[in-house]
Amino acid sequence: MSMKEVVSRVSTYSADTFGVCSALFELGGMTVIHDPSGCNSTYTTHDEPRWYHSDSLIFITGLTEKDAVLGNEEKMIQDVLQAADTYKPRFITLLCTPVPLMMGTDFKGMAKLIEEKAHVPVFWATTNSMNTYEKGISWAYAMIAERLVTAPKTASTCCSWQPSFASAGQGNKINIIGMTPLDFALNGSEKALRRCLTRMGLVVTSIWSMGSVYEEIIGSAMADVNLVVSYGGERAAKILQQRFAQPYVVGIPLYPIQSVLEKAIYKAIETKRVQYPLVEIRAKRKGEHVILGESVYATSIAAAWEQCTGQHMDVFCPVTPAKGTLLETDWQITSEGELMERLQSYKMIIADPLYKAIIPPSATFVPLGHEAFSGRMYQDDIPNLMKAFNDFFATYIESVNIHGNE
CA 371 vs CA 34, 180, 185: distances in Å? 24, 10, 6
What is the domain-level CATH number for residue 96? 3.40.50.1980
The answer as to whether 357 is a domain residue is yes
Q: Is residue 248 a contact partner of residue 237, using CB atoms and an 8 Å limit?
A: yes
Domain extent at residue 82: 16-131
Residues 22 and 109 in one domain: yes
What is the domain-level CATH number for residue 326? 3.40.50
Residues 265 and 303 in one domain: no
The reported pLDDT for the residue numbered 283 is: 87
Residues 167 and 259 in one domain: yes
The answer as to whether 34 is a domain residue is yes
Q: Is residue 202 a contact partner of residue 227, using CB atoms and an 8 Å limit?
A: no
The reported pLDDT for the residue numbered 156 is: 46
Residues 189 and 252 in one domain: yes
Count CB-CB contacts under 10 A for residue 365: 15
The answer as to whether 25 is a domain residue is yes
How would residue 162 be classed by pLDDT, with cut points 50, 70 and 90? very low
Boundary-marking domain end, from 278, 308, 341:
278
Residues 271 and 291 in one domain: no
Residues 244 and 331 in one domain: no
The answer as to whether 362 is a domain residue is yes
The reported pLDDT for the residue numbered 65 is: 85
Q: Per the omega criterion (within 30 degrees of 0), is the bond before 209 cis?
A: yes
- Give ∠ CA 2-101-39 in degrees, rounded to 5: 90
Boundary-marking domain end, from 111, 131, 151:
131
The answer as to whether 139 is a domain residue is no
Residues 265 and 335 in one domain: no
- Measured distance CA(101)–CA(121) in Å, rounded: 22
The answer as to whether 86 is a domain residue is yes
pTM recorded for the entire structure: 0.91
The answer as to whether 6 is a domain residue is no
Please compute the mean of the pLDDT values over residues 113-129 and round it to a whole number.
95
Residues 252 and 295 in one domain: no
Residues 372 and 326 in one domain: yes
Percent of the chain with pLDDT over 90: 73
How would residue 304 be classed by pLDDT, with cut points 50, 70 and 90? very high
Residues 57 and 23 in one domain: yes
The reported pLDDT for the residue numbered 3 is: 53
Percent of the chain with pLDDT over 70: 91
The reported pLDDT for the residue numbered 67 is: 85
Residues 270 and 292 in one domain: no
For the chain, what is the domain count? Answer: 3
Residue 403 has pLDDT above 80, yes or no: no
The reported pLDDT for the residue numbered 160 is: 43
Boundary-marking domain end, from 223, 247, 278:
278
Least confident of 137-141, 220-224, 281-285, 398-402: 398-402
Residues 253 and 318 in one domain: no
Count CB-CB contacts under 10 A for residue 72: 13
The reported pLDDT for the residue numbered 46 is: 78
The answer as to whether 98 is a domain residue is yes
The string of pLDDT tens digits covering residues 337-356 is 999 999 999 999 999 999 99
